[in-house]
Structure 1
Amino acid sequence: MKRVFKRFIKLVTDRHIWVRQIAIAGLAGAVAWQLGDLIIYKGGLVAAIVCVL
């Protein structure tokens, strides 16, 4: 079990830039979703899709 955990940690740390980009895209999509819903009725989904792509 410890070996699997170390292997997982190594995979994430070796790809830290990729992981950061995914996290930022997810956060930006969430913010776009909330702002889109505030501006246009049910506009958040479209805004989130456009933002993440």
Structure 2
Amino acid sequence: MAWRMLGAKYKAQNIVDVRKGVKPKKVPEVSAGDGSILHFLNEWHFAPELYA
């Protein structure tokens, strides 16, 4: 599980970097699996609403 969280952290950071300067209100993730990417986006307050 630790390797999955590590990979998710880098993927979530890429999303933040690509969307720099844009603050979305809602973020849907299709095929979210265990939600590990959304976990990091939530921790970093990327958007008020995150959906899997």
User: What's the TM-score, normalizing by structure 2?
Assistant: 0.39
Flag the structure with higher helix content. 1
Relative contact order, higher structure (CA 8 A, sep 6+):
2
User: What's the TM-score, normalizing by structure 1?
Assistant: 0.39
Flag the structure with higher strand content. 2
Q: Which structure is larger by alpha-carbon Rg, 1 or 2?
A: 1
